[in-house]
């Protein structure tokens, strides 16, 4: 086989370890409530949401929302900040860029180092 039927690589494909890490992150958003939570937080004008806003937006218990937020936080997709008695969550844009960057072709056509 001379390889003429194959298109050239424009970037290095994911290695085994990086694929395992990325799969863990994607698993965190592969649940509909978590995906909606991430979207709801990211949709806010200031990029953050109080837990009090999030619990009322879903027909699940507060404990379930807390669990889903913990999964998203442990996956590195969101971060939280305590202000008085409330917790505020914000999306970590760099985490979303990492996911997108691993799956999108290189814009300049160069294979990343």
Quote the percentage of the chain above a pLDDT of 90: 64
- Residue 50, CA atoms < 13 Å, CB-side half-sphere: 7
Per DSSP, the three-state class of 105 is: coil
Tell me which residue of 37, 59, 33 sits closest to 50, measured CA to CA: 37
Tokens in use for 37? Answer: 């939570």
DSSP secondary structure code for residue 81 in this structure: E
Q: Flag whether the pTM goes above 0.85.
A: no
Domain ranges of the chain: 16-102
pLDDT for position 76:
95
The answer to whether the CB of 40 falls within 8 A of the CB of 69 is: no
Q: Which CATH architecture has domain 16-102?
A: Orthogonal Bundle (1.10)
Q: What are the helix (H) ranges across the chain?
A: 16-29, 32-43, 51-55, 62-74, 93-103
Q: What is the pLDDT of residues 75-110, one digit of tens each?
A: 999 999 999 999 999 999 999 888 888 887 666 544
Residue 99: its pLDDT value, please? Answer: 86
């Amino acid at each position: 086989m001379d390889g003429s039927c194959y298109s050239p690589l424009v970037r290095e494909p994911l290695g085994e370890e990086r694929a395992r890490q990325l799969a863990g992150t994607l698993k965190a958003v592969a649940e509909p409530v978590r995906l909606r939570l991430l979207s709801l937080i990211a949709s806010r004008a200031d990029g953050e949401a109080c837990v009090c806003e999030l619990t009322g937006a879903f027909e699940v218990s507060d404990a379930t929302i807390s669990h889903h937020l913990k999964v998203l936080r442990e996956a590195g997709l969101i971060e939280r900040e305590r202000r008085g008695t409330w917790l505020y969550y914000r999306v970590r844009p760099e985490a979303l860029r990492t996911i997108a960057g691993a799956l999108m072709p290189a814009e300049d056509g160069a294979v990343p180092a």
